[in-house]
Amino acid sequence: MPLNLSPVTGSLLKCLKSFHCIPRRGFGSRAASLSSVGLKGRSCLTLKDFTSDEIKRLLWVSGDLKHQIKHEKQYLPLLQGKSIAMIFEKRSTRTRMSTETGFALLGGHPCFLTSQDIHLGVNESSTDTARVLSGLCDIVLARVYSHSTLEELDREASIPIINGLSDLYHPIQILADFLTLQEHYGSLSGLTVSWIGDGNNVLHSFMMTAAKLGVHLKVATPKGYEPDKRVTEEALKLFKQHGTQLVLTSDPMEAAHGSNVLVTDTWVSMGQEEEKKRRLKDFQGYQITMQTGGVAKPDWTFLHCLPRKMEEVDDQVFYSSRSLVFPEAENRKWTIMGLMVSLLTDYTPQIAMPKF
């Protein structure tokens, strides 16, 4: 007799199935290989610096913490006695809430610092700030305008530095995106992701990560809004090395054709407000609609890192069953927790390795 499962129960079982969430005493050889990956003491400025196995390990730990804490209701004080300095030059909802609540949930103490609290590089140099914070806390997450600020902090600090967003990369967003896709599709290898929008920091992080997970990437940007040339050159090498495909075009429908996942982001980032009128004109035709999805694969889904504006994606897509934006937002918490635990401890996941 077939079971009638509620949508919530069915979704939970799908998540558990994709992560094989049954603790086991022994792991297979592939799992043993990932188990031996050590990230303690590392910084995370860009996923360009992480290997395929290291990224998979981060996703594994993140999925494990989500299972243990959210579904099994366990308390895991893995960061008890530790503190994090959260430096925010730019405002944020998801980055602040996920980091602050996640660090506290793991038993640690988060300390939030805005430009009103800490004048990074103004009243005190980034060099001195990095050395001071190294003696006061265990890890720093910095959300900054310039990526060079992160590089200076990392050079001078003796503790891990996490990029909470910079003008060049947004690695913690991409970890959440790939955890969301892994949960939804059951595996990542062979998926095609289509980016339709601005050649920005989120796209750069996709370009540094997708190939390492066996994911193809198709990118459509208006002329003049292409991704950074150096990032593109590095990405082309990565995709060739991993045997995956990178397509660059200015035609949104060409990018969407045959894709599993449609992704966009804001067209006007913080600091670009004066360019808004021109940008809205230049991005005409780039809104993601059901028509865009009509040329994608039958199982297509939609991602957006938020906050979202109507011109980027219409309500019909954004609030549809194809939209994964709210699970994606929640996974910002589990992936930043997985990253912090990996950089600060020797924690080994308790669930079996998911299929990548």
**Residues tagged active-site:** 305
Choose among 174, 138, 161: nearest CA to 87: 161
| Contact assessment for residue 44 and residue 343, using Cβ atoms and an 8 Å cutoff | yes
Please give the Cα distance from 176 to 137 (Å, whole number).
Answer: 25
| Contact assessment for residue 85 and residue 144, using Cβ atoms and an 8 Å cutoff | no
SS3 139: strand
**Residue 221 contacts by C-beta under 8 Å, 6 or more apart in sequence?**
195, 197, 198, 199, 203, 227, 248, 250
Choose among 163, 243, 160: nearest CA to 204: 163
| Contact assessment for residue 166 and residue 43, using Cβ atoms and an 8 Å cutoff | no
| Contact assessment for residue 336 and residue 130, using Cβ atoms and an 8 Å cutoff | no
SS3 67: helix
**Residue 97 contacts by C-beta under 8 Å, 6 or more apart in sequence?**
333
